[in-house]
Amino acid sequence: MDNTSVMENQTENAHETTTGLNNRKLLMWLFLGSDCMFFGSLIATYLVHQGKSLVGPYPVDVFDIPTTSVSTFVLLMSSMSMVLAYSALNRGNLKGFRIWILSTAIMGATFLAFQVFEFRTFVHHDHLTPQVNLFGSTFFTLTGIHGAHVTLGVIWLLSLYFNSFRGGVTPERSLDVDLAALYWHFVDMVWIIIFTVVYLFGVFRGF
Amino acid sequence: MTLLALSGIARPVHPSGIWGWITTIDHKKIGILYGVTSFIMFLTGGIEALIIRIQLGGPEANIVSPEVYNQLFTMHATTMIFLGVMPMSAAFFNYVIPLQIGARDVAFPRLNAFSYWTFLSGAIVLKLSWFLGGAPNAGWFGYAPITGAAYNPGHGVDFWIISLQILGVASLAAAFNFLTTIINMRAPGMSLMRMPLFTWMTFVTSFLLIFAFPVITVALIELFMDRYFGMNFFVTSAGASPVLWQHLFWIFGHPEVYILILPAMGIVSEILPTFSKKPLFGYPFIVLSGVIIGFMGWMVWSHHMFTVGLGPVANSVFALTTMAIAVPTGVKIFNWLGTMWGGSLDFKTPMLFAIGFVFLFIIGGLSGVMHAIPASDAQQQDTYFIVAHIHYVLFGGAIVAIFGGIYYWFPKVTGKYLDEKIGKLNFWLMFIGMNITFFPQHFLGMDGMPRRVYTYDADMGWNLWNGVSTAGSLLLALSILIFIHNVVKSLRKGEIAGSDPWDARTLEWSISSPPPEYNFKEIPHVTGIDQFWIDKKENGKVVSNEVVEVDDHSIHLPQPSYWPFICSMGLLIAGYGAVYISSTVGIIVTAIGFMVTMVAVYAWSFEPVNDPENSH
Amino acid sequence: MSTDSKMNKTIDSEHHDHPSPAKYFKVAITLVIITAIEVGVFYIEDLKWGIIPVLVVLSGLKFGLVAMFYMHLKYDSKLFSSLFFAGVVLASCVCIALMALFKYFA
């Protein structure tokens, strides 16, 4: 025993499916479609409340676009390293896989660190709390829930990283990594939207 | 290492008795679990309704206080929708869908079990609120700001929020599962346009579920944030609009009502052809109508908000879309009638319920179209006219169809018929009782009687119809008792039913009653709609009811597992912690619950579906 | 029947083209450039409200690039794209409808 006790369901690939597509991959895409509605509702809430706060601080007072650009860059790069991890695994390069997936997790954690730093600055320096106005409530909830998604992703990636040392990650089971990658890219895409709609639009006084 | 050990130790092998049920991943057993649990919940919702009707039976009654009354109508609706109709439909999805598409189980059997246990957790959180300081009291739609901390400081609304979130997880998991199953596990030859109608409607419903539930999840998160963390999502003094809650709720809530009714329509579309000895009339049109209803269901939500003051443009847009959505529904009705026309009609109990559905749903639909016009809705909104509409479509529609489904598929599940004479009595009492209860409510509504008010003055002129309506509700209660009697009696000594008691058309009737664990000895090959009918009539297939012995090693079935159950229990624990999260104990309990869930998720991930050492 | 042969295919997760690491790197560079443009546009005061459509288009491009290449939608079954974009479209429509109802565009 037992390198077979791994996350992948071995017999899954053995039988046919009606469309020829893998069940778990189909599940992941269904989940991502559903998660679009989840983030869509949160973003809609943010937009509907945009510019309606009765008191400050307002976005234009607190946002530090240069710093947030850096964290955005980090997250974008993490998507690239994720893709390289999957690519390495498919070519049988387990060492490459480990390097790239660890990099992805570290970059994800870095992004989270930026978020934590930003939240603390807002609260302690700018006196922007979730309670103070509509902007605070909607901003912290939206970005906080995104951050929670990133956190779950980092845990997932680290699990794959450590599992690879137990022989649990192989090219035959690359679907495990593919699924994590899809989730990770999605979380990145949501950030792309948040960065634009929350931060960049925040330039307008009156938002 | 520990996880390996955990997953090694925890793998059950042929568990029996209660462990067999706790660890089951067999869709048929899960279907039975859903069916029994949801029926019990339906009874509790019915009792809540009866108390309401007794309170309203006469003017100025004081059987319950206004505070308790508010909890009663909130719990009645929340129970019936989320713990009654939805899981009853899920019982049928679970039992019937794999059989109809020629599969051995669903795509993700453990996720399926998880859906059930999570549903049970949500049900527990909701129903126990009665005993833990008071049930939620702000209506099943929980409008802000009455659900906010300022107006609702007790824990009732918190139980409502948390239970709905847990139930949402269950519904989402089930919907993902059924979508994958229907897309990917159909028997060879079964194209989408050869699927049975019940499968089709489940398919559309599942899409509605995965796209609608996230919206209410967000709304509930935001409400939770307001209540517990002092945020401002729906707080007017911070500049927020409580109307946002209404929008978010109904963006979910309108697809939700189609989630409630489409499966019922699917059931009716199975029963009518069987008992008319004719194929479903206009199969492609019924399918297309179902899809269109699913699609258009996203465009009508603000018809629940015509009296909020959205303005003439918004009101007009939603009025038009609402009137438009009546069209595909009408198409279905004509096709059902067309199915019966010229058929050799056999008025067995399932058929009575199916025909009853068509009749009652027409009435409910007509009152619905009346609400579609904002001007007339302005008079009807918040009156008993709406209550009448709701109950014609949800009781006369969904519940009646579900009962039809129970009578139809009971022989498949148990191998015995439900008693036909008692069944007919059940049907007529329910049909008559339902009409006596709810038809007069149209008059009460037109006459101005408001909803959600615990009593009324003796000189309003409402006494007669309220009395009649209450009498009707007692008749309904009697019909349910008769149903229960029928079930108990038939389980004990019902007439034995073979594989195909109704001479039906779809694949589930081609295997024994009850089916063997593996469903099909050989996966069927499908060449057309109603393949089983083709087999019987054109290929001369003869169906026997004996269970054929199968070599264990030729069919691989997934193994039972504890982890779905444990994962759900983690959610239950976390849920209770969350209700009390403003205290330290609450935080600790929530954390423990989430840790249990995470451990279960890991162990589940590492556990292969088929344990090589113990393969069946 | 011909439809039967299309049913029940075996799993083939690797039959499609795989972009090379070089391609992935190019996509990454493109994403960085687009982000840089977005931030740059942000500082152009004269555009005023005009930056909104510009930013929407640019972030839409990034979204599409990640979906097509990193998430492989360009190379995978169209079913995956349909399922995902159904979610994206529905979420966008609901978002825009809510914005209109709350007079965001007024």
What ipTM does the predicted assembly reach?
A: 0.95
User: Contact B365/B394 with Cβ under 8 angstroms?
Assistant: no
Q: Select A66-207's CATH number: 1.10.10.10, 1.10.3720.10, 1.20.120.80, 3.40.50.150.
A: 1.20.120.80
**Angstrom distance (rounded) from CA C61 to CA C57:** 6
User: Contact A148/B253 with Cβ under 8 angstroms?
Assistant: no
CA distance A204 to chain B (A): 19
Contact B298 C8 (CB under 8 A): no
User: Contact B527/B588 with Cβ under 8 angstroms?
Assistant: no
- The helix (run of H) or strand (run of E) holding residue C22 is helix C21-42
Contact C24 A80 (CB under 8 A): yes
- A vs C: CB pairs below 8 A: 152
Contact A192 C70 (CB under 8 A): no
Q: Which of residues 78-97 of C touch A (CB under 8 A)?
A: 79-80, 83-84, 86-88, 90-92, 94-95
C-alpha dist (Å) from residue B363 to A182, B382, B394: 47, 19, 12
Q: What is the DSSP letter of C48?
A: G
Tell me the residue type at B80: M
Determine the distance from the C-alpha atom of residue C33 to the mean position of all C-alpha atoms in its chain, rounded to a whole number.
16
Q: Delimit the domains of chain A by residue range.
A: 66-207
Name B221's Cβ contacts closer than 8 Å, sequence gap at least 6.
A141, A145, B165
Digit-by-digit pLDDT tens for chain C (106 residues) are 334 444 455 444 444 567 788 889 999 999 999 999 988 888 877 777 788 888 899 999 999 999 999 999 999 999 999 999 999 999 999 999 999 999 988 7
Name B189's Cβ contacts closer than 8 Å, sequence gap at least 6.
B525, B526, B527, B531, C1, C3, C4, C7
What the block records as the tokens of A75 is 């997250």
Contact B211 C1 (CB under 8 A): no
Q: Please, what sign has the CA dihedral across residues B309, B314, B320, B325?
A: negative
Q: Is some CB atom of chain C closer than 8 A to the CB atom of A203?
A: yes
**Three-state DSSP class for B522?**
coil
Q: Is some CB atom of chain B closer than 8 A to the CB atom of C102?
A: yes
Q: Is some CB atom of chain C closer than 8 A to the CB atom of A167?
A: no
Torsion of CA A11, A14, A15, A16, to 10 degrees: 140
Tell me the residue type at A178: D
Q: What is the DSSP letter of C101?
A: H
Backbone angles phi, psi at B496, to 5 degrees: -65, 135
Digit-by-digit pLDDT tens for chain A (207 residues) are 333 333 333 334 446 899 999 999 999 999 999 999 999 999 999 999 999 999 989 999 999 999 999 999 999 999 999 999 999 999 999 999 999 999 999 999 999 999 999 999 999 999 999 999 999 999 999 999 999 999 999 999 999 999 999 999 999 999 999 999 999 999 999 999 999 999 988 877 555
What the block records as the tokens of B115 is 């859906």
**Angstrom distance (rounded) from CA B64 to CA B454:** 8
Instruction: Report the chain C residue with the minimal C-alpha distance to residue A50.
Output: C104
Residue A201 pLDDT? 85
Determine the distance from the C-alpha atom of residue B557 to the mean position of all C-alpha atoms in its chain, rounded to a whole number.
28
CA distance A177 to chain C (A): 12
User: Contact B568/B604 with Cβ under 8 angstroms?
Assistant: no
**Angstrom distance (rounded) from CA A27 to CA B574:** 25
3-state secondary structure string across B366-409: HHHHHHCCHHHHHHHCCEHHHHHHHHHHHHHHHHHHHHHHHHHH
Among candidates C12, C21, C79 on the partner chain, residue whose Cβ is nearest the Cβ of A87: C21
**Three-state DSSP class for B14?**
coil
Name C31's Cβ contacts closer than 8 Å, sequence gap at least 6.
A76, A79, A80, C62, C65, C66
Among candidates C4, C90, C98 on the partner chain, residue whose Cβ is nearest the Cβ of B188: C4
Q: What is the DSSP letter of B515?
A: P
**Contact list, C86 vs chain B (CB under 8 Å):** 207, 211
Backbone angles phi, psi at C9, to 5 degrees: -85, 160
Residue B553 pLDDT? 65
**Angstrom distance (rounded) from CA B276 to CA B342:** 8
- The helix (run of H) or strand (run of E) holding residue B485 is helix B463-493
**Angstrom distance (rounded) from CA A198 to CA B11:** 48
The low-confidence residues of chain B, meaning pLDDT below 50, are 1, 614-616
Rg of the Cα trace of chain C?
19
Q: Is some CB atom of chain C closer than 8 A to the CB atom of B295?
A: no
Residue B450 pLDDT? 97
Name which of B494, B507, B508, B366 is nearest B442 in CA terms: B366
User: pTM of the entire structure?
Assistant: 0.94
**Angstrom distance (rounded) from CA B276 to CA B83:** 33
Q: Which of residues 518-577 of B touch A (CB under 8 A)?
A: 556
**Angstrom distance (rounded) from CA B464 to CA C29:** 76
Contact A33 B211 (CB under 8 A): yes
Residue C45 pLDDT? 73
Q: Please, what sign has the CA dihedral across residues B530, B533, B535, B538?
A: negative
Contact C90 A36 (CB under 8 A): yes
Name C33's Cβ contacts closer than 8 Å, sequence gap at least 6.
none
- Which residue has tokens 């309203």? B56
Residue A4 pLDDT? 33
User: Contact B261/B393 with Cβ under 8 angstroms?
Assistant: yes
The β-bridge partners of B383 are: B450
**Angstrom distance (rounded) from CA B540 to CA B459:** 70
Residue B615 pLDDT? 39
Report cis status (omega within 30 of 0) of the bond before B608.
Answer: no
